[in-house]
Amino acid sequence: MNMIELRKPYLLFLGDAELAIDAKTAAGVAYWRPDHCLAQLRLTEKTIDLGLPDMDVAQAGKAGAGTFILGLAPVGGGLPDDWVSICVEALNNGMDIASGLHDKVSEIPAIAAAAKASGRAVYDVRVPPADLPCGTGAKRGGKRLLTVGTDCCVGKMYSALAVETEMRKRGASTSFRATGQTGILIEGAGISVDAVVADFVSGSVEVLSPANAPDHWDIIEGQGSLFHPAYAAVSLGLLHGAQADALVLCHELGRTLVDGDYPDYALPEIDEAIATNLLMARRTNPNAEVVGISVNSSNFPEAEALELMADLEAQHGLPVVDPVRTGVARLVDNMGAIT
C-alpha cells in the first residue's frame, strides 16, 4: 500500500500571493510544521512573508530541500507558464513536487517530462492510492481520536493538530493522520479520503491508521459532517474506518445553517450531533466516547465567547474549548480516562 509521503525539508512556493488566504496551505505548513520547512520562494516584494528564509530554487537544492510545495491556489486553478518552468527547475535540482491544486500538476507535459528525466516524484495530493481495500471492521491495536463536526469548515483539522501538538508537549506517543490535501501537506503523509471511491473510504482509514502500540494515539483529521446534505458519506466512512476510541465534536459558535448554498438545512443541535456520531462510531467500536467539544468562537468578542462556551459545557457535561483562545489541554486531560 503506497501512501503519499513527502521528503523533507520543504521549499514553500508562495508565487505572487499578497494575502495569507491565497497561500493558506503554505501558511498552514509553516505554522504547524516549522521544523519541516527549509525556506520560502516569493516572486515579488509584495508576496506574503511567512518568516522563513528566502531562497531561490538553486539555493534550496544546494541546501538539501526534499520537496517543492505549491502552497497556494492561482486564479483560475491552472498553473501559469512561468510557474511551470519553476517546477521544472525544482525537479532538475533534486526536489520532488507536491501540489494541492485541483489540476493535476503531474500531467502537465513539461513537468511530467522533467520528472521522468530526473527520477523525481510529482504528488497531486488530492489523488488517493489506486489499490485501497474495503474496510474490514477488524479491531486493531492502539488508540484513536477522530474529529467530527456539526458542519464542514468548523475546525476539524485545526482541532486535531492542536490535540496532537498538546500530546507531543506531554511526551505522549502520537501521530496526526491527515485525510485532506492541506493536512497531507502539513504532515507530509496521508490519504485524501474525499477523493476515494465510496466503497473504499473506511478501508482507506484503516490503512491510514494501522495497528499500533497500546499506548499510541492516532489523531485522525475529520472531513465533512454527518449532517451535511452533500458530504455526509465521507464522514460516515471515517467514523467506521477509524474505530475511534475518542471523538471531539467541532462547531462554529453562532452558525445556524449548513455552510454554503444550503439555506433549507439547519445545523443539528449539539445533543443530536453527539448522539448521531456516537451511534455511527459504535458500529465498529462499541466503546467510543465523546471527550469534548471544540469550537471556533472567532465571531464573538472573547468575554461573550467564553460565556457561551461555559453554557455549552454546563448543558452537555463535556469540556468545551477553543483551540486558539483556550488551548485543548482539557480535551487531552479527558482522553486519559479512556482505557
Domain with 48 in it: what CATH number?
A: 3.40.50.720
| Statement to judge: residues 147 and 255 lie in one domain | yes
- Of 77 and 30, the one with more pLDDT: 30
Same domain, yes or no: 165 and 273: yes
Is 208 found in the same domain as 93?
no
Residue whose cell numbers read 504528488: 123
pLDDT of residue 261: 87
Cβ neighbours for 266, distance < 8 A, ≥ 6 positions apart = 256, 257, 258
Domain final position from 97, 124, 151? 124
- pLDDT of 186 reads 93
- Domain assignment of residue 262, given as a range: 143-335
pLDDT in tens, 265-281: 999 999 999 999 999 99
Do residue 174 and residue 251 come from a single domain? yes
φ/ψ region of 61 (left if φ > 0, alpha if ψ in -120 to 50, else beta) reads alpha
The residue among 103 and 144 whose pLDDT is bigger is 144
How far apart (Å, rounded) are the C-alpha atoms in residues 66 and 320?
40
Say yes or no: 28 and 73 in one domain.
Answer: yes
- In this structure, the dihedral spanned by the alpha carbons of residues 72, 253, 262 and 289, taken in order and rounded to 10 degrees, is 90
In this structure, are 294 and 175 located in the same domain? yes
Cell of 90: 525544482
- Cα separation, 112 vs 105, whole angstroms: 8
In a domain, 137, yes or no: no
Domain contains 220: yes
Domain of 246, CATH number, reads 3.40.50.300
Pairing of strands 289-296, 189-190: unpaired
Evaluate whether residue 132 is within a structural domain. Answer: no
Written as nine digits, the cell of 325 is: 483562545
Asked if residue 148 and residue 50 are part of one domain, the reply reads no
Q: Tell me the three state secondary structure of residue 8.
A: coil
- Residue type at 125? V
The answer to whether residue 23 is domain-embedded is yes
Contact in structure between 338 and 285 (CB atoms under 8 Å): no
User: Do 186 and 318 share a structural domain?
Assistant: yes
Among 66, 96, 124, identify where a domain stops: 124
Q: Average pLDDT of 207-229?
A: 97
Q: Does a structural domain hold residue 129?
A: no
pLDDT in tens, 119-173: 999 999 988 888 899 999 999 999 999 999 999 999 999 999 999 999 999 999 9
Residues 194 and 309 in one domain: yes
Residue 102 confidence (pLDDT)? 78
- Residue 103 — pLDDT band, cuts 50, 70, 90? confident
Cα torsion angle, 194, 195, 199, 203, sign = negative
Give the pTM: 0.91
Among the candidates 96, 124, 152, a domain finishes at 124
**Residue 74 pLDDT exceeds 70:** no
**In total, how many domains does the chain have?**
2
Q: What counts of helices (H) and strands (E) characterise the chain?
A: 11, 13
**Residue bearing the bigger pLDDT, 79 or 177:** 177
All cell numbers assigned to 318: 463535556
Q: Is residue 75 in some structural domain?
A: yes
61 and 168 fall within a common domain: no
Asked, for residue 136, whether it belongs to a domain, the answer is: no
User: Containing H/E element for 257?
Assistant: none
How much is the pLDDT for 1? 42
At residue 89 the predicted structure's pLDDT band, cuts being 50, 70 and 90, is: very high
Shared domain for 59 and 114, answered yes or no, is: yes
Chain segment 277-331, per-residue pLDDT in tens: 999 999 999 999 999 999 999 999 999 999 999 999 999 999 999 999 999 999 9
Asked whether residue 135 is assigned to any structural domain, the reply reads no
Q: What share of the chain is helix, strand, coil (3-state, %, to 5)?
A: 35, 20, 45
Q: How far is CA 132 from CA 31, 46, 192, 195, 231, in A?
A: 31, 43, 12, 12, 20
Same domain, 59 and 167: no
CB within 8 Å of 27: residues ≥ 6 apart: 20, 48, 50, 71
**How much is the average pLDDT of 235-263?**
96
Confidence of residue 81 (pLDDT cuts 50, 70, 90): confident
- Can you tell me the mean pLDDT for 29-35? 94
Give how far Cα 333 sits from Cα of 143, 216, 318, Å: 15, 15, 12
For all residues of the chain together, what is the average pLDDT? 94
